[in-house]
């Protein structure tokens, strides 16, 4: 079960929103930069929530969304400083969990392990984009997506299929050694091979620790 952050006061939320909105000016989210330079195929709207996360959509779902890029234009009306999330369709938590089960079963992986990885990677957000360019539920890089034939990196099914398949291959390579496989998933298999073990990267070690904690929690939860 996903824990939600405690609600901030109205003043704090307003201040945070104001700060985020002030910052919408330096660069466009990488996913939108990948669109053809000639024109945009649909109006794109943007919304910044109370936690400062950025969401993009091609459908104005409410008055909270503002026009970001109009169909046919090549210049964004606003540019953003943060890389957060964009979404071209809504996916419920239940649908995501079902898709996780399907992908895990397809590659004979533990469902709770995949839940833990998705939790650590994207917090179950299909539109998540990292500053490094990793995207989707399992935060896969474009090169990896291409390797596995992914045509829409933010599509939950395709993203999960590629991510779970990649993790399965790493588990096989490291003969079931989960920490090593997770290190390779996070830092790259070359780094693990070169260091002959888990690389001395603080971020990678924190990532492994986080996944294992989530994994244990999900198993105890018995979902």
How is the chain split into domains, by residue range?
10-69, 93-221
pLDDT for residue 189: 95
pLDDT at 174: 96
Nearest to 113 by CA among 3, 217, 2: 217
C-beta separation of 86 from 31 below 8 A: yes
Flag whether the pTM goes above 0.75.
no
DSSP notation for 201-220? -HHHHHHHHHHHHHHHHHHH
| Catalytic residue from among 94, 121, 169, 221 | 121
- Average pLDDT of the chain is 76
Lowest mean per-residue pLDDT among 19-33, 84-98, 188-202: 19-33
pLDDT digits (tens, 9 = 90+) for 55-86: 666 666 677 777 655 554 444 444 333 244 54
Higher per-residue confidence, 170 vs 40 = 170
Among residues 183, 190, 134, the alpha carbon closest in space to that of 162 is found at 134
Tokens of 123: 């917090």
Distance CA 39, CA 59 (A): 17
**Mean pLDDT, to the nearest integer, of 203-214?**
94
Give yes or no for a contact between 137 and 96, defined as CB atoms under 8 angstroms apart.
Answer: yes
Residue 117 confidence (pLDDT) above 70: yes
User: What is the CATH class of 93-221?
Assistant: mainly alpha
81-110 residues labelled b (16+ CB within 10 A) or e (exposed): ebbbbbbbeebeeeebeebbeebbeebebe
**In terms of pLDDT, which residue wins out, 145 or 72?**
145
φ, ψ of residue 175 in degrees (nearest 5): 55, 45
Q: Is there a catalytic annotation at residue 121?
A: yes
């Amino acid at each position: 079960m996903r824990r939600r952050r405690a609600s901030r006061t109205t003043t704090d939320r307003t201040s945070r929103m104001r700060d985020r909105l002030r910052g919408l000016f330096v660069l466009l989210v990488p996913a939108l930069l990948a669109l053809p330079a000639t024109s945009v195929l649909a109006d794109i709207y943007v919304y910044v929530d109370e936690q400062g996360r950025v969401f993009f959509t091609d459908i104005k779902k409410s008055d909270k969304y503002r026009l970001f890029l109009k169909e046919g234009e090549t210049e964004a009306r606003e540019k953003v400083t943060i890389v957060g999330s964009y979404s071209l369709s809504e996916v419920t938590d239940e649908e995501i969990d079902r898709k996780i089960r399907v992908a895990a079963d397809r590659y004979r992986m533990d469902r709770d392990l995949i839940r833990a990885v998705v939790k650590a990677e994207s917090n179950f957000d299909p539109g998540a984009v990292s500053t490094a360019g990793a995207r989707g539920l399992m935060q896969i890089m474009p090169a990896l997506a291409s390797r596995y034939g992914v045509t829409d990196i933010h599509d939950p099914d395709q993203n999960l299929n590629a991510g779970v398949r990649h993790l399965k291959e790493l588990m096989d390579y490291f003969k079931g050694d989960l920490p090593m496989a997770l290190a390779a998933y996070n830092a790259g298999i070359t780094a693990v091979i070169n260091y002959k073990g888990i690389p001395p990267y603080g971020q990678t070690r924190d990532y492994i620790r986080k996944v294992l904690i989530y994994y244990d929690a999900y198993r105890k939860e018995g979902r």
